[in-house]
Amino acid sequence: MEFLEVHNLTKRFGGVAAVQNISFCVKKAEILGLIGPNGAGKTTLINLICGSLKRDAGKIYFKDEAIDGLSPYKIAQRGVGRTFQITKVFRKMTTLENMMVPATWLSGKFQDFAERAFKFLEFFELIDLKDELAGNLSGGQQKLLELARASMMDPELLLLDEPFHGVHPTLKNKIIGYLKSTNKSLGKTFIVSSHDIPSIMGLCERLIVMNAGYVIATGAPKDIRRDEKVHEVYLGERLEAGV
């Protein structure tokens, strides 16, 4: 079996099917891109994989184990992490306190977690803000903090929902560099959902394109660029605009 397998996944909200009979696989140490117009179902798909939403039909397997019936924290304990389209930092806690939240339920010595937290804060250039309330950070800094906090759990699979949205180019390059380096050196696996077409085309080896809850195309970035259906529903105007 593949590292992650999604089979015939469906989720409805009332009479609207946000995810419709979707199937795909992710290989270990792959960086998979997830693109499509607003309302395509990308965030719903991420929420289903991470357990924030319960499926109406279908199965999800991670490392040969069915995870679709598990709660989010149990899925996280098995090595699946995530970030959010709208950042979910603890705004009234400091940057460092945010980093230490995973230590409350992961096994290990507190000192080890503290050392790891300082390491990630240094890497993401947030160390000077360690005592600042997270709510006072810029939007881009909060994106970095959320990624750093998710990395504290050392997930084998990390799902990122719009990690580049509203992020300064310098910080965006920091995120991209981190994803590439940990993928290459540590074999980490990523699913990245983004409207930032230049960034995701350069980052991912393979893309899944969604529209209205369906997968309409899958392939390498160069093939997706040439796909007429993808151009029709999504990429045409974005490529012309260079976004």
Is residue 33 included in any domain, yes or no? yes
What letter represents residue 156's amino acid? E
Within-domain flag for 141: no
Closest Cα partner for 147 from 136, 131, 161? 161
d(CA 86, CA 156): 23
**Residue 122 domain-assigned (yes or no):** no
Q: Which residue from 180, 203, 183 is spatially nearest to 29, judged by alpha carbons?
A: 183
Identity of the amino acid at 205: E
Residue 120 lies in a domain: no
> What is the sign of the dihedral through the CA atoms of 159, 209, 176 and 196?
negative
- Give the CATH number for residue 36: 3.40.50.300
The pLDDT profile of the chain, 243 residues, written as one tens digit per residue, is 589 999 999 999 998 999 999 999 999 999 999 999 999 999 999 999 999 999 999 999 999 999 999 999 999 989 999 998 888 899 999 999 999 988 776 656 667 888 989 999 999 999 999 999 999 999 889 999 999 999 998 899 999 999 998 888 988 998 999 999 999 999 999 999 999 999 999 999 999 999 999 999 999 999 999 999 898 888 665 544 444
Partner residues linked to 12 by β-bridges:
17
Half-sphere exposure of residue 32, counting CA atoms within 13 Å on the CB side?
Answer: 23
DSSP reduced 3-state for 209: strand
Task: Tell me, yes or no, whether 144 lies in a domain.
Answer: no
Answer left, alpha or beta for residue 150, where phi above 0 means left and psi between -120 and 50 means alpha.
alpha
What is the distance between the alpha carbons of residues 50 and 109, in angstroms, rounded to a whole number?
Answer: 26
Is 180 within a domain?
Answer: yes
Domain that holds residue 185: 4-93+156-241
**Residue 32, in any domain of the structure:** yes
- Whether residue 36 lies inside any domain: the answer is yes
Q: Which residue has the tokens 């997930």?
A: 155
As for how many domains the chain has, the answer is 1
User: pTM of the prediction?
Assistant: 0.90
Contact predicate 138/107, CB 8 Å: no
User: Would you state the structure tokens that stand for residue 200, as one six-digit string?
Assistant: 């995701």
